[in-house]
Amino acid sequence: MTNPYGQQQPYGQQPGYGPPSGGMPAPYGQPAPYGQPSPYGAPGGMPGGGGDINAIKDYKGWAIGCIFLCWIIAIFAIMKSNEVNTYKMQGNYAAAADASRSTRTMCMIASIIGGLGCLFAIVMIIISIVAAASVPSCYGRYC
């Protein structure tokens, strides 16, 4: 690329600007070149040492399934699951991991509440059947 004065400029540099101080950091999410430390202080280029963004789960399927167990908590779990993807797209991996843990916790609570509710319903059905079987089927002097 040539500037208006006929001088050849290296690709990617603006006229009058020198190279950046401190060198060029590795692109975010990419591992540092061999033999050089990561600019973020962790292997893999991602804060916290994780090299794979897909390792942060959003638990969306579990959150949607929890609607049948405890819908109030499941709605908040679905909203938190959406935050995980939003934070991952923004590059805020710490917030994404925190939202992922919150989603997992809410799903676990909804599953436990739903499981206890199902167990309670089964026990009540058994008690109702036993109580109905112990009641005589006829009343009065015609039995």
Residue 141 lies in a domain: no
Number of domains in the chain: 2
- pLDDT score for 42: 46
Averaged pLDDT, 96-112: 91
Residue 112 lies in a domain: yes
The tokens describing 120, both together, are 């309670």
- pLDDT score for 43: 44
- pLDDT score for 27: 57
Most confident of 5-9, 11-15, 42-46: 5-9
Beta bridge partners of 2: 8
Angle (CA) 15 21 24, round 5°? 90
Question: 28 and 63 share a domain?
Answer: no
CB-based contact 58:39 (threshold 8 Å): no
Question: 63 and 44 share a domain?
Answer: no
- pLDDT score for 105: 92
Residue 111 pLDDT greater than 50, yes or no = yes
Residues 6+ apart with CB under 8 A from 26: 32, 33, 36, 38, 39, 45
Residue count (the chain):
143
Question: 100 and 42 share a domain?
Answer: no
